[in-house]
């Protein structure tokens, strides 16, 4: 059953009990799903949001890289290690978002549930063969290690470099 009204779509399914030849029965039931119909602004806003997010990420990464280069070598190596660790740990989350971006592209004309890019970060998402904790766990670990790298940058820039003078020459 499908019902549409004022931009809302209701999908409904009714299943009866099913029995196989060996006598095993599966319970039926009534299932429903309510979704909003997409407007003409959906695709342009999705593309604009993706481009703005990519630009913001690139600018933030460039700013952090310049700050790492300006640190004392010990602090710089430590911050670069944590930044590299954050990049490595974020690979499963990046893969999940890429898969959702492809699914979003494949379902642009479909009026059903929207494939959001961040939906793969929830536990028990649709990614087959992946433990339910992996993608959200790696996302949290990447955020934590990136926060440590930024903390090292803040602490490292507050320290006086060896051989620096207090008075300008």
Same domain, 81 and 19: no
Say what the pLDDT of residue 102 is: 80
Same domain membership, residue 86 and residue 135: yes
Compute CA 159 distance to the chain's CA centroid, rounded to the nearest angstrom: 35
Instruction: Output b/e per residue, 147-160; b: 16+ Cβ within 10 A.
Output: ebbbebbeebeeee
pTM of the model: 0.58
Give the structural domain span for 101: 42-157
Number of domains composing the chain: 2
Mean pLDDT, the chain, integer: 77
pLDDT, average across residues 84-106: 83
pLDDT at 157 > cutoff 50: yes
How many other CB atoms are there within 10 angstroms of residue 135's CB atom?
23
Residue 164 placed within a domain: no
Question: Residue 22 has what pLDDT?
Answer: 77
The per-residue pLDDT for range 106-116, each reduced to its tens digit, is: 777 766 666 56
Say yes or no: 58 and 128 in one domain: yes
């Amino acid at each position: 059953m499908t019902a549409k009204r004022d931009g809302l779509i209701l999908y409904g399914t009714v299943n009866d009990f099913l029995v196989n030849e060996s006598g095993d029965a599966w319970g039926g039931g009534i299932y429903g799903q309510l979704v909003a119909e997409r407007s003409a602004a959906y695709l342009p806003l999705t593309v604009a949001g993706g481009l703005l997010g990519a630009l913001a990420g690139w600018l933030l990464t460039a700013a952090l890289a310049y700050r790492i280069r300006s640190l004392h070598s010990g602090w710089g190596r430590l911050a670069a290690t944590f930044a590299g660790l954050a990049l490595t740990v974020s690979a499963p989350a990046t893969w999940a978002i890429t898969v959702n971006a492809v699914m979003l592209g494949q379902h642009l004309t479909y009026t059903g549930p929207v494939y959001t890019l961040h939906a793969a970060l929830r536990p028990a998402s649709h990614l087959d063969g992946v433990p339910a904790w992996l993608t959200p766990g790696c996302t949290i670990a990447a955020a934590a290690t990136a926060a440590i790298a930024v903390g090292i940058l803040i602490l490292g820039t507050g320290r006086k470099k060896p051989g620096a003078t207090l008075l300008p020459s």
